[in-house]
Structure 1
Amino acid sequence: MQLSHTLAAVSASFDDPNLVSAAGLVPIMRLADEAGLTALAQDRLSVPTDKGANAGAKIATLVGGMTAGADSIDDMDLVRHGGMSTLFDRIYAPSTLGSFLRAFTFGHVRQLDAIASRFLVGLAAQAPALAPATSSNYVFVDVDDTIIEVHGHKKQGSGFGYSKVRGLNALLATVTTPESAPVVVAQRLRRGSCGSPRGAGRLIADAIATTRRLPGLQQQKILLRADSAYYGHPSISAAINAGADVSVTARMTSTVKHAIATIPDNRWQTIQYTDAIFDEDTQRWISSAEVAEVPFIAFSSQKKAHQVPGRLVVRRIPELNKKDVDQPGLFDLHRFHAVFTTADSQLLDTVAADKTHRQHAVIEQVNADVKASALAHLPSGKFTANAAWLVLAVMAFNLTRTAGAIAGTGLAKATTTTIRRAVVTVPARIARSARRLVLHLPESWRWEPQWTRLFDHTHSPQPDRPADPFSVR
């Protein structure tokens, strides 16, 4: 592509009050309003009135700005240009929004957590494809934490964690079905130096409670998946007490190693794994990886109330780094990966339990997604303001995911960046015709069908919806 020769003399002027760069916010913020975002924030946030007046509109401005691509307070100017004030009421300046966030206390952050949970339920009601009922045996709640890097010493709570970089620790829980992409059902910001399982029990209980309120998942069985950092009584018991089964990587303790050593050689089954080949003649996988299971009681050294019966599902592969010993033992010849699960063996047999647990890695994609969007920065020096920013970033992520689910055709499981590029940051010119606002969008826009589907979904006539003031051309 090169500049047209007919544009030898080009001039530019920022003087058109009817242009907008993110016309997709029209249907998306309508969707947010229908899901209750503004009303929930206005009713449930008790930030002092000197900083928290019109909390609903301020929260909507922050979420809208993040949806359009803002990853800092100053970036909220994204929603204050051209004809945005014609399309939206009460758009607040970045300085006002910064003062609003700095007024948050821990209690206000917890209020925002409750708003985020109810907002997700509202979004799922607007878009059943977001978290649909499934014929699968389980829906999956995944828990993991990630370090959000910060710079300087003035960020409250920042420290060096397992990643060896200065940052703050974000703990997330997502829900996934075989038919849908993950959405975040719970979140918590913690000190950068805190251990991964700190406070996980409460977050897990909140995540399962929110999952059970989603319209499509109210009758589904839930399986909590997590890595070895959460192999502890508080996390596992929180899930079980909430009515979920668990699938958690077990640490290689002496008890676990003893259980593995009791597995007979004839119990190991080959599985589809890296470089596996399926033999059509024998109808079996030719693979270096094998799985087996053995009954197991987790935390057997603790008091009886803390002991959890279940199964130990073990995967083994040959040890490639051979140890220089005369008589190699079992753990010299193989590498083992053990998973403790309480899942019903009739619903998840040994092979299925191992494969299902490996799919826990889907939460890493969510971590990368939010950190490439609104969580690219934690903008404040105050910890509670950053904690509120995390919750707002999650709300923007879920809102964008909902828009993608409604738009469909390649966007239902796309990343935030792809959905934003396709249906959010679409330029448009505002015109007026017959007392209606008309959005003129670019001709030959690649994602016109998806954008139109999203717009029609949010602006179609409904019995309890006011007359639509918009049309699109």
Structure 2
Amino acid sequence: MKNNATGSRVKVSADGHGVLSHAGVGILREMADLTGLSAQVTAVLADTYRGPWNYSPGTVFADLAAAVADGADCVDVAAQGCGGREHVFGPSASTTTMWRLLDQRIDSAHLPGIRAARARAREQAWAAGAAPPDTGWLRIDIDATITIDHSDGKENSAATWKKTYGFHPLLAFLDRPDIAGGEALAGLLRPGNAGSNTAADHVTVLGWALESLPPAFRPDPHDPAGQKILVRSDSAGATHAFADACRAAGVGFSFGFTIDDRVRAAAETLTARAAWTAAIDADGEVRDGAWVAEATDLVGLDAWPTGTRLVLRKERPHPGAQLRFTDSDGHRITGFITDTGRGQVPGGLAGLELRHRQHARVEDRIRQAKASGLRGLPCHRFDANAAWLEVVLTATDLVAWTKLIGFGEHPDLARCEIDTFRYRVLHVAARITRGARAVRVRIDASWQWAQAIADAWQRIRCAFT
């Protein structure tokens, strides 16, 4: 019988040399060195060593962050990934050394130093070209998420309000709509039973987030002409203590507001007065089936900081959605409070509502962080998992800075999500050649984004010289 197979058979062997997979991870690893992150972390953790080290702690930390950005979800996978590239990017630490960094060296006493090192690296990255455009406002989005723990052996893991088991970290991201992932400013690891609207935790994360900004971009409560910063949160952040902390720090706020009987009555009064105006989309066009109105004078806000306003939004429910008892006139009612005065945001009330609605982008930031090591915390000790959280936030920043500086001219790469970015950039294959006392990474010329990757690598190096 004849073989009807049309393709030629391919011989497979395990004797290849000079080939590197995941070559694009090297651009993240180099970013960690160029921003000074590796050197800063080494300085912070130097006192945890009794003698000389084989691998500096900053190098191990940067290797971990780059591996997490590449998709590693535990220390063992991170060490294996780094070991597979050591013939090009230099020796890497073992799994035991990486574990020791998280479990012993980065304790609660050294975590503030790690956050300060990340802040100084951000300052260098922004000076090299990753700074936000000068549009007046910086927007910090704060939100919590649940990290599932499938065992009960991890310290401080507990039952969550969603009837799951694990941890309940609170995160702060700087909204960067020009890229997909934003920048991770701060994160507070909390037990699973931590409250959603704990004001003290929100105040702590806000303080860390502001400290993470370069000094020139931090707010000055005594300088009205200084940097303008808006803190956005859902209704979990709408507490009097957190609003007062924002006012004391010199930042504005925009918090989701719980719809109760008072607010529902205000919405019906606005309907009777025909006071609703059309909402708008991000492009400034009228949003069909959505309206906004101000209810500041209809609901008592005396307990909130001076100038607080309540803005309501009503919208036709989506097909199949059930109305709640707080809805009015057949429409879904939502609201938020803000201390932004009139005339400060283009579009009036509709512009204010659009600005608050864009807080929803934080869900995309958290989703991508969960795809980069946040889905599960690998350590048993709580402080070690807090250190792992800092690694995850660092990985997010390295990807963000690489996109902002290297791929600004390629929006298909700058705005793609992390899984796509890994496929197109980080997992690219290359051939390694040596000559003239140099090692050369030759990216496969047939790859669609090969030239964009090579150009971005050189652009990043030039930005820091």
Which TM-score tier does this pair reach, normalised by the shorter chain? 0.7 to 0.9
When structure 1 is superposed on structure 2, of 73-82 and 139-148 the one drifting more is: 73-82
Correspondence for 1:470: none
Paired with 1:226 and 1:393, the residues of 2 have a C-alpha distance of: 21
Report the secondary structure of 1:192's partner residue: coil
Within 5 Å, give how 1:294-443 maps onto structure 2: 294-295=295-296, 307-317=305-315, 331=328, 333-348=330-345, 349-405=348-404, 406-408=406-408, 409=410, 410-443=412-445
- Structure 2, unaligned stretches of length 5 or more? 221-225
How far off its partner does 1:315 sit?
Answer: 0.9
Change in CA separation of 1:354 and 1:45 when aligned onto 2, cut-off 3 Å: same
Identify which of 123, 126, 131 aligns with 2:125.
123
Per the alignment, residue 142 of structure 2 pairs with 143
- CA-to-aligned-CA distance 1:139-188 (integer Å, 9 cap, x gap): 21111011111111101111222332112112111112454552111111
1:109 is displaced (CA, Å) by 2.3
Could you tell me whether the CA contact under 8 Å between 2:281 and 2:354 is conserved in 1? Answer: no
- Seen in structure 2, the aligned counterparts of structure 1 residues 299 and 229 have a Cα distance that, compared at 3 Å, is farther
Q: Which residue, out of 63, 66, 71, partners 1:64?
A: 66
Q: So what's the TM-score if we normalise by structure 1?
A: 0.83
**AA paired with 1:70?**
A
Give the structure 2 partner of residue 282 of structure 1: none
Q: Which residue of 2 is the match for residue 281 of structure 1?
A: none
From 261, 267, 273, the equivalent of 2:275 is 267
Q: Which residue of 1 aligns with 2:223?
A: none
Q: Is the 8 A contact 1:296 1:309 kept in 2?
A: no
| 2:154 paired residue number | 155
- Asked if the contact 1:65–1:78 (Cα under 8 Å) also holds between the matched residues in 2, the reply is no
1:247 aligns with 2:259: no
Partner residue in 2 for 1:22? 22
Deviation at 1:235, TM superposition (A): 1.9
Percent of residue pairs identical: 26
Shift of 1:424: 1.6
What do residues 371-424 of structure 1 show as CA deviations (whole Å, max 9, x unaligned)? Answer: 012223211111111111111111111101221221231122221222222222
User: Per the alignment, do residues 72 and 262 of structure 1 end up closer, same or farther by CA in structure 2, a change over 3 Å counting?
Assistant: same
Which residue among 48, 72, 78 is the counterpart of 1:76? 78
Task: Give the SS at the match of 1:374.
Answer: helix
Which of 218, 230, 234 in structure 2 is aligned with 1:223? Answer: 230
Separation (CA, whole Å) in 2 of partners of 1:400 and 1:321: 40
1:120–1:329 Cα change, 3 Å: closer
Contact 1:21/1:426 (CA < 8 Å) preserved in 2? yes
Q: Relative to 1, partners in 2 of residues 1:156 and 1:296: Cα closer, same or farther, differing over 3 Å?
A: farther
CA-to-aligned-CA distance 1:172-212 (integer Å, 9 cap, x gap): 11112454552111111111110123311111122134345
Pairwise mapping of residues 253-292 of structure 1 onto structure 2 (< 5 A)? 253=260, 256-257=263-264, 260=267, 263=270, 265-272=273-280, 285=286, 287-292=288-293
Query: Secondary structure of 1:378's match?
Result: coil
Q: How far did 1:80 drift?
A: 4.0
CA distance in 1, matches of 2:463, 2:316: 62
The whole-number CA distance in structure 2 between the counterparts of 1:243 and 1:13 is: 61
Structure 1 residues 322 and 314: alpha-carbon distance in aligned structure 2, compared to 1, 3 A threshold: closer
What RMSD in Å do the two structures reach over aligned CA positions? 3.3
How many Å separate the matches in 1 of 2:376 and 2:288? 43
1:32 is displaced (CA, Å) by 1.5
User: 1:344 and 1:31 mapped to 2: Cα distance?
Assistant: 40
Report the more deviating stretch, 289-298 or 65-74. 289-298
My pick for the range that moved more, 84-93 or 186-195, is 84-93
Give yes or no for contact 2:264–2:326 (8 Å, CA) kept in 1: no
Distance 1:49 1:297, change over 3 A: farther
CA distance in 1, matches of 2:51, 2:297: 54
Alpha carbons of structure 1 residues 212 and 292: separation in structure 2 relative to 1, 3 Å: farther
Distance 2:326 2:427 in 1: 60
Q: Distance in 1 between matches of 2:8 and 2:21?
A: 25
Match for residue 454 of structure 1?
A: 456
Equivalents in 1 of 2:127, 2:139: separation in Å? 19
Residues in 1 aligned to 2:159 and 2:279: alpha-carbon distance in whole angstroms: 39
Quote the offset at 1:134 in angstroms: 3.2
- Deviations along 1:300-341, one digit per CA (max 9) or x if unpaired, are 575xxx644311101123678579xxxx99846543211101
Report the alpha carbon displacement of residue 257 of structure 1 after superposing the two structures with TM: 4.7
Question: What is the distance in 2 between the residues matched to 1:212 and 1:220?
Answer: 11
**Compared CA separation, residues 52 and 145, structure 1 to 2 (3 A):** farther
Q: Is the 8 A contact 2:41 2:114 kept in 1?
A: yes
Q: State the AA in 2 paired with 1:171.
A: L
**What is the one-letter code of the residue matched to 1:30?**
E
- Could you tell me how far 1:4 is from its partner in structure 2? 8.1
C-alpha separation between the residues in 2 aligned to 1:308 and 1:76? 50
Could you tell me which amino acid in structure 1 is paired with residue 344 of structure 2? L
* Greater CA drift, 328-337 or 155-164: 328-337
Match of residue 245 from structure 2: 238
Determine helix, strand or coil for the equivalent of 2:428: coil
The runs of 5 or more residues in structure 1 that have no matched partner are: 279-284, 466-473
Paired amino acid for 2:335: A
